[in-house]
Amino acid sequence: MYYVTKRLEIAGCHRLELNYESQCRRLHGHNWIITVYCRAKELNENGMVCDFKHIKDSVHGYLDHGNFNELLPFNPTAENIAKWVCDQIPTCYKVVVQESDGNSAAYVKDEFADENI
């Protein structure tokens, strides 16, 4: 099995739809650190699990300096963002989203959901 990791820093804002009072219901920003983990049993025709540029273009290129509430079709919690990022890259199996120092969320794809990975 081959593994690669890509770390991205993304500036972006969001507000959360919550069923309780919180300052997070107001628009605010973070310098997000998103770490993408990919794997493959076999390398592609270019000798890669996937191109780091593809990861950057798919995630950083779309989200950076954006309003996540406008860009994403769900409540943009760190947990939901982690799953969305994982879904953007076919070889991705895990994503960690850090929205501030000490606050992060992870999504790990079910190991048995995709036999091709």
**Nearest residue to 14 (alpha-carbon basis) of 3, 31, 26, 2:** 26
Q: What is the pTM of this model?
A: 0.91
Q: Of all residues in the chain, what percent carry a pLDDT higher than 70?
A: 94
For residue 93, the model assigns a pLDDT of 97
Where is 87: in which H helix or E strand?
Answer: helix 78-88
Domains located in the chain, CATH noted = 2-108 (3.30.479.10)
For residue 19, the model assigns a pLDDT of 93
DSSP state of 69: H
Amino acid in position 81: I
48-91 residue pLDDT tens: 999 999 999 999 999 999 999 999 999 999 999 999 999 999 99
For residue 110, the model assigns a pLDDT of 81
pLDDT over 90 (residue 28): yes
